[in-house]
Chains A and B, each alone.
Chain A
Amino acid sequence: DTGVSQNPRHKITKRGQNVTFRCDPISEHNRLYWYRQTLGQGPEFLTYFQNEAQLEKSRLLSDRFSAERPKGSFSTLEIQRTEQGDSAMYLCASSPLQGLSSGNTIYFGEGSWLTVV
C-alpha cells in the first residue's frame, strides 16, 4: 500500500498525558498537512509542511501542540498535557510539490483517533 500511513490508528490516554502521532506521506510528496476532525464536524486545518519547513499554522494549534517533519519525510504531531477537548481524529494528508496551488489533489490517510479520558 503506497498511500498515506498514520500510526497509531487509535489511542486512548489519560488527561494530562502526552501523545504522539506519526504520519508517513506518499513517497516523494513534498507537502504534508495535518487536520483535526471532531464528531459531526468537517476537518479543520492545523498546519502544513513543505519538505521540512513548517509554512503555515492555524490558531487551533495551541502551544500544547507541536508538529515536526525533521527530514522532510515522515511527520509527527505531539500533544502535550492532553485535555478532553483534544479528543478527535487527527488526519494527515500529502500532495506533490505544487500542492493545491496547481490544483493538485491532496491524499488523506485514514486518521488517528484520540480519546482522552
Chain B
Amino acid sequence: AQTVTQSQPEMSVQEAETVTLSCTYDTSESDYYLFWYKQPPSRQMILVIRQEAYKQQNATENRFSVNFQKAAKSFSLKISDSQLGDAAMYFCAYRRIQGGSEKLVFGKGTKLTVNP
C-alpha cells in the first residue's frame, strides 16, 4: 500500500521569507501524481500544486514550487515570499495512475505559521 509521510508536524516562517515543507512517499508504481493541498482553518481544502511523476521538470505555480526527487521518493514544497494568507495546514497527497483508482492518499499534514 502506498504511504505518504510528512515529518514536520509544524513549521513557522517570517513574512516575506522562504520555507520548505517536506514530504516522502512509498510506492512501487512508476507512474503517479503528487499533490500539495492547503487547508486554512475552517475553510475548504484547495489544490496548491500538482506534479506528474513522468515529468522531470519540477512544477511551479507563482510563489509555490516543488522539488521532486523520484529516486528518493521525495516531494518537497517551497513557498517563496511567504504571506500571512499562506498560514494553513498543508497536506501532501499521492494518487496512482494505473488501476483506475481515484483514491488520494494523504500525509498527516504540516501546520504552517507565518509570523508578521
Contact = CB atoms under 8 A, between A and B. Distances in A.
B100 A45 contact: no
Given A42-B108, A99-B102, 8 more contacts: A40-B109, A42-B93, A43-B104, A45-B104, A48-B102, A58-B103, A100-B33, A110-B43
Given A56-B101, A56-B102, A103 B50 contact: yes
Contacts, number: 56
Interface residues of A, number: 27
Nearest to B45: A108
15 contacts: A33-B102, A41-B109, A42-B4, A42-B109, A43-B91, A44-B106, A48-B103, A56-B102, A56-B103, A99-B102, A100-B95, A101-B100, A107-B44, A109-B44, A110-B43
A43 B106 contact: yes
Nearest to A50: B102
A48 B100 CA distance: 12
Contact of B44 (A31, A56, A110): A110
B105 interface: yes
A31 B100 CA distance: 13
Given A3-B44, A108-B45, A110-B43, A45 B97 contact: no
Considering residues A33, A100, A101, A109, which has the most beta carbons from chain B within 10 angstroms of its beta carbon? Answer: A100
Contacts of A44: 106
Given A101-B102, A103-B33, A40 B45 contact: no
